[in-house]
Structure 1
């Protein structure tokens, strides 16, 4: 997959659904890794929220995908598998910083993708899913931006 894929509008609805499901898996699995690494405080709260909200997002998308004959991926995309492999070697503050920066980047891409695809798709089910899910992703993005603003100054 091209690295610019997630930020560009997808040409088809199935492509968008696959991307959305990959996005959920990326956040869920990186967040599970964060919890396994023993992150604490706000980072732990964020990780738990990612797992809950992105699990729900996939659950909301599944019936739409099934109706359209699209099989959603159940694992991270290749880019995030590589990121996860790099993050496995990190710990403590270094890991938390990388995790939070990755979450910020991912959520910005996802918001861009959702906004772009909502304008493009003719599918009422997908428009409904995007309308329902976008505010959640935007809230995540705002949360990570706020954290980045407060944590970056002491570097």
Structure 2
């Protein structure tokens, strides 16, 4: 009887330990993982391969993740902000990033790149945090998030335009970078007007 109890405790501990290590991946991690398995250098027969380098695929998933977040946060700004400039900026995010997201999805489809279906955990936390704020607190946090996000996106686009291997993704990044710069300039102007 003692041996059976001991065996059951070991089994329960093993199951508990294993479940601790199987934290669910967020959508971006899942897409990146799927793209790794489609790598043309390793598993082309099983997956159909991927038509771009691993770095280009990672660029696509990162850009898609950020683009989805910009659209979602833009909608939130339209709902929650009391500042007309921020509401207008939010509408521009929904329109502009929505178009860019569609363009990136079309490229990804032709290259067999899996894009995330939802934003990653970091962007979701940012949206959750912002959704709890109101008035000037929301406006300030949203503007700060947009400045930070657009700086990162601009850097991402400039890097891909310069160093990317896939011609279509390089062209996409080169075409998108000036629009991101324009958004960054616009949100910086809003930020300065709030002081």
TM-score, length-normalised on structure 1? 0.87
**Who is 2:99 aligned against?**
56
Aligned with residue 90 of structure 2, among 31, 47, 50:
47
Aligned with residue 132 of structure 1, among 163, 170, 175:
175
Shift of residue 40 of structure 1? Answer: 3.7
Q: Residues 15 and 82 (structure 1 numbering): CA distance in 2 closer, same or farther, change over 3 Å?
A: same
Task: Give structure 1 stretches of 5+ with no counterpart.
Answer: 2-9
Shift of residue 142 of structure 1? Answer: 0.5
Aligned with residue 37 of structure 1, among 74, 80, 90:
80
Distance in 1 (CA, whole Å) between partners of 2:81 and 2:113 is 36
Distance in 2 (CA, whole Å) between partners of 1:93 and 1:38 is 8
**Who is 1:79 aligned against?**
122
2:160 pairs with 1:110: no
Aligned with residue 142 of structure 2, among 99, 102, 106:
99
Shift of residue 89 of structure 1? Answer: 1.4
Q: Aligned Cα RMSD in Å?
A: 1.7
Do the aligned partners of 1:29 and 1:76 also contact (CA within 8 Å) in 2? Answer: no
Distance in 1 (CA, whole Å) between partners of 2:57 and 2:155 is 17
Do the aligned partners of 1:21 and 1:73 also contact (CA within 8 Å) in 2? Answer: yes
Shift of residue 150 of structure 1? Answer: 2.0
Q: How many residues end up aligned between the 2 structures?
A: 144
Task: Give the number of the structure whose alpha-carbon radius of gyration is greater.
Answer: 2
Do the aligned partners of 1:28 and 1:54 also contact (CA within 8 Å) in 2? Answer: yes
Q: Which has the higher contact order (CA 8 A, sep 6+)?
A: 1
**Who is 1:150 aligned against?**
193
TM-score, length-normalised on structure 2? 0.70
Shift of residue 138 of structure 1? Answer: 0.5
**Who is 2:34 aligned against?**
none
Distance in 2 (CA, whole Å) between partners of 1:140 and 1:108 is 10
Shift of residue 20 of structure 1? Answer: 0.5
Moved more, 116-125 or 92-101: 116-125
